[in-house]
Amino acid sequence: MQLRYSEERRDEYESRALQTIKPSLYPDDAGPLAVEFTGACPRCEHGLPAARRWLVVVSPITKMNDRERRRLAAELRGADVDLSQGDETFELSCQCDQEHPGRPHGRTGCGATFDLRVVWP
């Protein structure tokens, strides 16, 4: 039986996410530009597509592709901005492709939203 779609936010999703979702630095630990998340939803336990959250963020008006973000990160490193260590909390949500009764048209996942703190190195 599938869980019903629910946008209710619970602390237990965040504690479970520590076991079900694996963060990794992209492209590598020495010069991260983003954090990639893989694993399963802490609510419905369905597999999630990989999600990337950028550490180098610019105005939403500015459209940048991966190559342009890398160039910007290189410029920041040249200006002595160090991304090799950090402590960020990311808001994630279930984006599974499984059916969940009651899900609004055009939405994906089971509705779960949760925060995941990532500390590196």
- Within a domain: residue 77? yes
Whether the ω angle into residue 42 lies within 30 degrees of 0, i.e. cis, is no
Query: Higher-confidence residue: 88 or 57?
Result: 88
Query: Higher-confidence residue: 57 or 44?
Result: 44
- Within a domain: residue 81? yes
Closest to 103 (Cα-Cα) out of 112, 111, 95: 111
Domain that holds residue 105: 11-120
H or E element that contains 91 = strand 86-93
Question: Which DSSP category does 93 fall into?
Answer: E
Q: Compute, in degrees rounded to 10, the torsion defined by CA atoms 87, 89, 95, 96.
A: 70
- Within a domain: residue 55? yes
pTM for this prediction: 0.82
What is the count of structural domains for the chain?
Answer: 1
Strand partners, 26: 34
Contact 85, 30 (CB under 8 A): no
pLDDT bin (cut points 50, 70, 90) of residue 33 is confident
Alpha-carbon distance of 87 to 46, in angstroms, equals 27
- Within a domain: residue 1? no
- Within a domain: residue 2? no
Specify the pLDDT at position 61.
64
Q: Is the pLDDT of residue 88 over 90?
A: yes
Q: Is the pLDDT of residue 60 over 70?
A: no
